[in-house]
Chains A and B, each alone.
Chain A
Amino acid sequence: MENSKQFVHKGVVYSITTLLLIPILATFIYSLSSSWGATILPDGFTFKWYSSLLTDPRFLDAFGRSLFICIASLLLATLLVLPMIFVVFYYYPKLDKVMNLLILLPFAVPPVVSSVGLLQLYANSSFQLVGTPWILIGTYFTIALPFMYRAIANSFTAINLKDLIDAAHLLGATTTKAFLLIILPNLKKGLLASLFLSFSFLLGEFVFANILVGTRYETLQIYLYNMRQTSGHFTSALVMTYFAFIFLSTWLASRLTRGNNQ
């Protein structure tokens, strides 16, 4: 009885996993096959799609741009959000409720709508912002904000902030020192988790990138979109490379966050 039950459970889990893996596996095989037309199995295997992708300077440039924008917006978010949450939690704990409403705003407006609004807002500004990476960094900051705020705020509630800072003050530490030496190390886990989550989310962002900047600053997703007319094998290789990268960073994230949990 117990065994047959477990058999059913395992069966469900394995079949769902297989179902989810099929498209990834198919894409992977397609990206490795020389041609795969009217036959059940591909005609032959080759690495040429990967080699042509990884030697394409346009791809490498787009990848670099995407990395730059993501890292820059996350850096901006970290620098702004960390001290802000500290101020909210330590000096004005009542503001947490306001913040929780505020961080929901980016979700309330769909990207297509808000990008049009941003275009109108910045199209006629005295300095050129639309079409540059800077507007994208600013926009991505608002997308990353909810993830960052929630995760870091959770870490803040998990520690006894007031008593810890008070104890540090009485032992001679300034508020800045107390923040850097005591509070920050305890936020590491939440911060890293939110950074990696936002990173993989931002790397795959297409709508804002396409409308606000488009081909003038080709990011990875725009490149993928522009390459849709070329060989399917090539785009499959592109998708698999992207997927592998996200997988790697997620794995790294779980490794790092686990490392903190001594």
Chain B
Amino acid sequence: MSETAEAEPGDLAIATTGLTKRFGQQIAVNGIDLAVPRGAVFGFLGPNGSGKTTTIRVLLGLAAATSGSARLLGHDVPTRLREALPRVGALIEGPAFYPFLSGADNLRRFDAADRHADPATRAERVARALERVGLTHAAKKKARAYSLGMKQRLGIAAALLEPRDLLVLDEPTNGLDPQGTREVRSLIRAVAAEGTTVFVSSHLLAEVEQICTHAAVMHVGSLVAQGSLDELRGTGSRVVRVITPDGDRCVSELAHLGLEVGPSDLAAHRAGDAEVVAPLPDDGPAAEDVVAALVRADVRVRGFDVERPSLEDRFVALTGEGFDVAR
């Protein structure tokens, strides 16, 4: 049926090379090389204003790239876009509707715009999409009477009118309450379980961290990191954290084991206790052996933990700022 399967040998749902978009003097997207594997749930992360939505607009052919190239489901953008788009569902910079039409009529309208959609199955597909996002009860209500969260869900329903190979969701949880956010997350999981690649942008890391297999981080128009979540967290960057009243002895024993403790990593914890943090290399001793060695050396251990830095820490390091920073 669709010839998308063999079109891209690298099997990437989205691939860009040096993709750049300028608006006058301002560079919105600066030479990014994005690689989204098929079947991934790909978090496209970055603070507001870092170029995420512009990238999505270029990928979907709404805006022309200034330079660089992009492929969507193996088809060149924008020349072969019309072959890729019917297999792509999208929510771009918030949902948009005809306020004077009902929710169901809005979906019918977007479906009629897709020349590949079969009108014979339209009513059924509209009903199923509404059911999927839990809006069946509001199908006949005018879109202007929808709450922000309902509009967001209707937008997702529009993206799910057809079975898709790729779902692009730009900030899908905007305006949703915690319950709505959970629903969107489980919807994404369900869609991904059917084999659809999901490309979800967000400025809220915590919201997508739990569902993504891969992620990329944008910062001021540039791609500063991308890969699987494990790659991004950095496998070699585990740390041990020891809480002990015997801080100095602990530091020297850890050094004995080959664990470097920086001067700033020894801090007062609570009355009398010190907190010692040391990086634990992958080829270093096993964590349980570290505890055994400490105890043998008469270091009294009140607390012991092996941690990976959270993605959040990693991204703050990459972007030099927290998420949520409006720019």
- Binding between chains A and B: no
- Residues of chain B having any CB pair with chain A under 8 Å: none
